[in-house]
Chains A and B, each alone.
Chain A
Amino acid sequence: MAGITLTDVRKSYAGNQVIHGISTRIADGEFVVIVGPSGCGKSTLLRMVAGLEAITAGTIEIGGKVVNDLEPRARDIAMVFQNYALYPHMSVRENMAYGLKIARMSRSEIESRVARAAEMLELQPYLDRKPRALSGGQRQRVAMGRALVREPAALLLDEPLSNLDAKLRVQMRLQIKEMHLRTGQTTLYVTHDQVEAMTLADRLIVMNKGVAEQIATPLEVYERPASEFVAGFIGSPAMNILAVDSEAGTVTLPGGTRLPLSGLPRAGALHFGIRPEHLRLAQPGEAAIPVVLRSVERLGADAFGYGMVEDTDMAMVLRLPGTSPAARGDHIGVVPDMAHLHFFDPETGRRIEA
């Protein structure tokens, strides 16, 4: 097992740069998730680590060895593909043993490794079946098994759960987490699903348009998003972002409402962010943001109120108790929790520290 170091990694297709210099160190045994919307370059980055895409500039090291010019097979990695890429003409056992046979491992060693992986993934009853006789979840586990038996320096997963139904996805998510705790395998995991990203990762790389917007622990990303993009991408429903005008201790909302706020970073135009869960209904007479509710989604434990800041076209979402009587058309006042304010530069979108 080994760590992975990316140094200013770039990728261009025919002069068109799609990955704009990403640097990070992934420690031995760390579970890092690359998350971002589709087209942000996350899969390309993973495929560059795997050796399936050439690296235009920068270096990638695996286990302290620069692998830029090495073939995938010389990189000591294993990968789980989004569509699993199981060899359709081979049984589950043969699928898992394929790489080991190529590595000229002894027959007994291959057998014991396959047996161990099959036990861990509960695949023993299916070892002699062909992939087409398996369900989606079972295929996914075979793909995991094929990667794990190799005991590679690094395990790469490319949206491994996106083809599963919601219930199975939750189950497999837990299983992957557990497996990582058990094997301590250095893992790089690509997903567009923020729940997978938040729950699995030791550290997140949030990508947007070929740039790593933030590289940090999930909680840090949630509590101190480095940019407006990250703030909007992580958290569900997304963070509310309002364009405001600030002066000493007060901001003016687009509708003209003035709201006293503590900890304003600077005067002038600002983007002010507040998560739906950090808003509450105002007490009578309290200074608040006036909102007209357009719909209320009830999820049981919670309800989400979707509305507009009065007299503006700015959307506002807030979390309400599940039993809240709020309804469409209500005029309410909402108050932000002062401990959870975020400010962003309207020009660059970067976070401004209070």
Chain B
Amino acid sequence: MRRTVFPHKLLPWLLVAPQLAITLIFFYWPAAQAFRQSLLKEDAFGLKTSFVGLANFRKVLADPAYLNALQVTVIFSAMVAFLAMAIALFLAVQAEKVVRGKSFYRTLMIWPYAVAPAIAGMLWLFMFNPSFGTLAWPLRQMGIRWNPLLNADHAMMLVVAAATWKQISYNFLFFVAGLQAIPRSLLEAAAIDGASRRHAFWTIVFPLLAPTTFFLLVVNTVYALFDTFGIIHAVTGGGPGKATETLVYKVYNDGFVNLIMGDSAAQSVILMVIVIALTAFQFRFIERRVHYG
């Protein structure tokens, strides 16, 4: 890579200043606020605030509802990340084979990404509403007692489906780009070497897609953890009971609905630690197996 040497010290700082300012204002400052608040306790009317040390953390971690949210989050995130990537990869591979109307097909695939999360959630809710949902009816005709408003598993399936559907477009786009970057001659060489299409996919295409897949793994994990709030809020509101209450949703619920700011702040600090740890883990252990072209 070419190294550029700046003649004086000020210019480089000025050039990175906007990015630094954004990061400071929108990440470090709120993060610091959350951390400060997690060590404080506020009374019910917000009149008195006292320093309580790690008491909020102790309380949160001992709370069975919090452990439930942790479990829900693990299940939800793993399913969303895996399904969104697997389905997008499948669709991208199929899209490669389309000869006529390729760009039309791709454009259609990308549209869902333009739908706002809350609206996507509402769409799915309407489609699968047990009383008037267009798609709930055939399910019931097949003898499934479909009711995401009462059945915890059904509710989970519905939010997973909505969150996955929303993310497939994004993953699809990256997988299509990744597939196009693989030289055709490699697949031809594999075909001549005797590999079936399926074998060539798993031994040539999939390993060469690893940089894309790894990037998407990190992005999708973060997506499932944070950005699905809108969908859950619109579809189930965390219910029935607390069956679809993820960590992020619980942070919102405890902080902005129940107004227990100390607990909520402690939870968001824990969440931050989880995400940092997870991402560090992914880079440390999974990226090693990634071959960059």
Contacting B at CB under 8 A, from A53-71, are 71
CB distance from A28 to the nearest CB of B (A): 20
- Establish whether residues B291 and A85, one from each chain, have CB atoms under 8 Å apart when the complex forms: no
Q: A81-B185, A83-B183, A102-B199 are in contact. Are A88 and B190 (CB under 8 A)?
A: no
A146 at the interface (CB under 8 A from B): yes
CB distance from B52 to the nearest CB of A (A): 53
CB distance from A157 to the nearest CB of B (A): 12
From B193, which residue of chain A is reached at the shortest CB distance? Answer: A99
CB distance from A91 to the nearest CB of B (A): 11
A182 at the interface (CB under 8 A from B): no
A50 at the interface (CB under 8 A from B): yes
Question: Of A72, A77, A89, A99, which one neighbours B208 at CB under 8 angstroms?
Answer: A89
B194: chain A residues within 8 A (beta carbon): 73, 99, 102-103
From A143, which residue of chain B is reached at the shortest CB distance? Answer: B189
B208: chain A residues within 8 A (beta carbon): 88-89
- Establish whether residues B192 and A98, one from each chain, have CB atoms under 8 Å apart when the complex forms: no
From A81, which residue of chain B is reached at the shortest CB distance? Answer: B185
A85 vs B199: C-alpha distance when bound (angstroms)? 17
A52 at the interface (CB under 8 A from B): yes
A85 vs B186: C-alpha distance when bound (angstroms)? 5
A85: chain B residues within 8 A (beta carbon): 183, 185-186, 188-189
Contacting B at CB under 8 A, from A245-261, are none
A222 at the interface (CB under 8 A from B): no
A102: chain B residues within 8 A (beta carbon): 193-195, 199
- Establish whether residues A78 and B291, one from each chain, have CB atoms under 8 Å apart when the complex forms: no
B141: chain A residues within 8 A (beta carbon): none
A99: chain B residues within 8 A (beta carbon): 192-195
- Establish whether residues A78 and B207, one from each chain, have CB atoms under 8 Å apart when the complex forms: no
Q: A81-B185, A85-B186, A88-B291 are in contact. Are A73 and B207 (CB under 8 A)?
A: no
Contacting A at CB under 8 A, from B147-205, are 183, 185-186, 188-196, 199, 203-204
Question: Of A77, A83, A87, A103, which one neighbours B192 at CB under 8 angstroms?
Answer: A77
Give the 4 A-B residue pairs with the shortest CB-CB distance, closest first: A99-B193, A85-B185, A85-B189, A89-B291
Residues of B within 8 A of A (CB): 183, 185-186, 188-196, 199, 203-204, 207-208, 210, 291, 293
Could you pull out 8 A-B pairs where Cβ atoms are within 8 angstroms?
A71-B191, A81-B189, A83-B185, A85-B183, A89-B208, A98-B193, A99-B192, A150-B193
